[in-house]
Amino acid sequence: MAIGELLRARGIITDEQLQTVLRQQKIAGGRLGDNLISLGYISRESLDGILHEPPHIPKTADETGLEGNFLLNCLLRTMYVSALQTIPEVSEHIKLTRAVVEELLTIAKKEALVEIRGPSEKNPNVMRYALTNAGKERASEALRLCEYIGPIPVPLQTYQLQVQKQTITNEIVSIDKLKKSMSHLVLSEEVVRRLGPASNSGRAILIYGAAGNGKTAMAEALISAFEQAVYIPYCIEADGQIIKIFDPSVHVPFGPEQPAIGSDKHPMFLPHLPYDPRWVRCRRPYIISGGELTLAMLDLDFDIHSKYYEAPLQMKAIGGIFVIDDFGRQRVRPHELLNRWIFPLERKLDYLTLHTGKKFSVLFDQLVIFATNFPPEELMDAAQLRRVHYKIKISPPTADEYREIFQRVCESYGLEFSEEIIAYLLNSFYIKHKVPFAGFHPRFIAEHVIAACNYLGTQPRITRQLLTDSLENMVVLPNSSPSKE
């Protein structure tokens, strides 16, 4: 269900108004919400309230959006493998409210799949449930089809709607936010000015230029400019198949965790849940992939033994930033990667295929950043370049910018900064040998000086000898080395 259809279903806009706004969007472009507001169909406050709604908490099995037998199989697998017996334990494990778990257990009891074994030893008010022989057989058959044990999946349609509500283009990064997130970097005003509109576009960005001048650092810093939380499901269900999405290495919980659904002091009382516990409230995800990237990593990963899927990288990055670092050095050729993404980059829609042959679409809602030190024309043809809407060249730092970087690095490493050192570097190295400035040079020098001082057992201090040694390690000069005098 799209946002427009959601608003129509709630009676906020009529079908005629939806068709009108869709026609205007085709002509004027922009986001659906902005067009709705401009036509006076909804206020900004009302739209923001709907877009920021957390996932609805299902109060019945039907409200989960999943088919009854699918839910029952998940429940029986969990009880069989994890040996859980009480409603609070099962509820905590599969992330459904106790009312829904009780409803499922009632159905299972009617079908003679579970039986009550009496009160819990820990609390006499809580009953214990156990699988019958028929229940164990049903659980074994369910495990043969899929061995997934964990939080109950979210239906694909429900997931798609939540992705639309929390799309990265709904959050506007102001110039103040961008400058704050980049404050630890030394960047020109032009780069900051051009990076802002690119960040808010949701379109692909190409950051290119000589190596070692902060392209990757810029991409990493950009994620902190986005402050809104997003909801990430543990997993989703598509055509009866389970796809794991939540990844602790990618998805960072935002703020305090919601209370565990089985952690209240008295097991007879339900804790307050701010949103559906099948979701995790997170910061916008950030994924960086370098030379190890292959086309296979952009497709669903089906485990033939456990018989469920791991989501591809771009799916885990939905709602956030996906950086292709060292673009052009991947194990897949640049043209092949870009051809795989021509449609997603243009239409913001990706297609994935299950091992059954079933194909389904997912929103391609993320800021894709290509970072490379290759000339763009060597990596992309004209059609591919056209689909990368923003191209930002990062030039080597100027002498003043280099001086500021060097001073910041010295301060962070506890090294004394002096104008004499800068003058020596400029005259005896950069100017004499015609070496271009690079943003990584000061850090390289500082780390080399500290390592050498630690080896010599002396207080870390930049001397001409140590500086010369670090320069010889940093750059291979065609002629003579810098003067050591």
Q: What is the pLDDT of residues 88-104, one digit of tens each?
A: 999 999 999 999 999 99
Between CA 420 and CA 20 the distance in angstroms is 68
Q: Is residue 317 part of a domain?
A: yes
CA 37 to chain centre: 29
Are 129 and 114 in a shared domain?
A: yes
Q: Is residue 14 part of a domain?
A: yes
Distances in Å between the Cα of 425 and the Cα atoms of 113, 362, 421, 444, 476 are 79, 53, 6, 14, 16
Which amino acid belongs to residue 205? I
Q: How many domains does the chain have?
A: 4
Residues 383-411 have a mean pLDDT of 93
Q: Is residue 43 part of a domain?
A: yes
24-28, 191-195, 378-382: which has the minimum mean pLDDT? 24-28
Return all residues near 306 (Cβ < 8 A) that are at least 6 apart: 146, 147, 148
List b or e across 144-153, with b for residues whose CB sees 16 or more CB atoms inside 10 angstroms. eebebbbbbb
Q: What is the pLDDT of residues 282-294, one digit of tens each?
A: 999 999 998 899 9
CATH (domain of 120): 1.10.10.10
Are 404 and 354 in a shared domain?
A: no
Q: What percent of the chain has pLDDT over 70?
A: 94
Which amino acid belongs to residue 185? L
Are 138 and 212 in a shared domain?
A: no
Report the relative pairing of strands 349-353 and 286-289 from DSSP bridges.
unpaired
Are 388 and 337 in a shared domain?
A: yes
Between CA 88 and CA 77 the distance in angstroms is 17
Is the pLDDT higher at 270 or at 58? 58
pLDDT of residue 256: 62
pLDDT of residue 264: 47
pLDDT of residue 479: 59
Are 444 and 306 in a shared domain?
A: no
Cβ–Cβ contacts within 10 Å for residue 91, how many?
Answer: 22
Are 215 and 106 in a shared domain?
A: no
Asked if the model's pLDDT at residue 138 lies above 80, the reply is yes
pTM over 0.75: yes
Are 314 and 200 in a shared domain?
A: yes
Between CA 448 and CA 332 the distance in angstroms is 35
Largest Cα span, the chain: 91
CA 73 to chain centre: 30
Residues 126-141 have a mean pLDDT of 94
**Residue (of 247, 237, 244, 333) closest to 285 by Cα position:** 247
Q: Which residue has the tokens 């080395």?
A: 481
pLDDT of residue 316: 97
Between CA 77 and CA 307 the distance in angstroms is 14
Asked if the model's pLDDT at residue 123 lies above 60, the reply is yes
Asked if the model's pLDDT at residue 313 lies above 90, the reply is yes
Residues 145-151 have a mean pLDDT of 95
Q: Between the ranges 23-32, 163-172, 260-269, 298-307, where is the mean pLDDT highest?
A: 298-307
pLDDT of residue 259: 53
282-291, 318-327, 423-432: which has the minimum mean pLDDT? 423-432
Are 138 and 69 in a shared domain?
A: yes
Q: What is the pLDDT of residues 267-278, one digit of tens each?
A: 434 456 889 999
Asked if the model's pLDDT at residue 309 lies above 70, the reply is yes
Are 72 and 17 in a shared domain?
A: no
Between CA 174 and CA 165 the distance in angstroms is 20
Long-range (24+ apart) CB contacts under 8 A made by 28-31 are 31/169, 31/170
pLDDT of residue 257: 53
Report the relative pairing of strands 235-238 and 286-289 from DSSP bridges.
unpaired
Domain final residue, candidates 338, 369, 393: 393
Average pLDDT, the chain: 90
116-125, 286-295, 432-441: which has the minimum mean pLDDT? 116-125
Asked if the model's pLDDT at residue 326 lies above 60, the reply is yes
The token pair that represents 191 in the structure block: 């780069």
Q: What is the pLDDT of residues 224-249, one digit of tens each?
A: 999 999 999 999 999 999 999 999 99
Are 245 and 297 in a shared domain?
A: yes
Return all residues near 470 (Cβ < 8 A) that are at least 6 apart: 444, 445, 448, 449, 452
Domain that holds residue 465: 399-474
Are 46 and 142 in a shared domain?
A: no
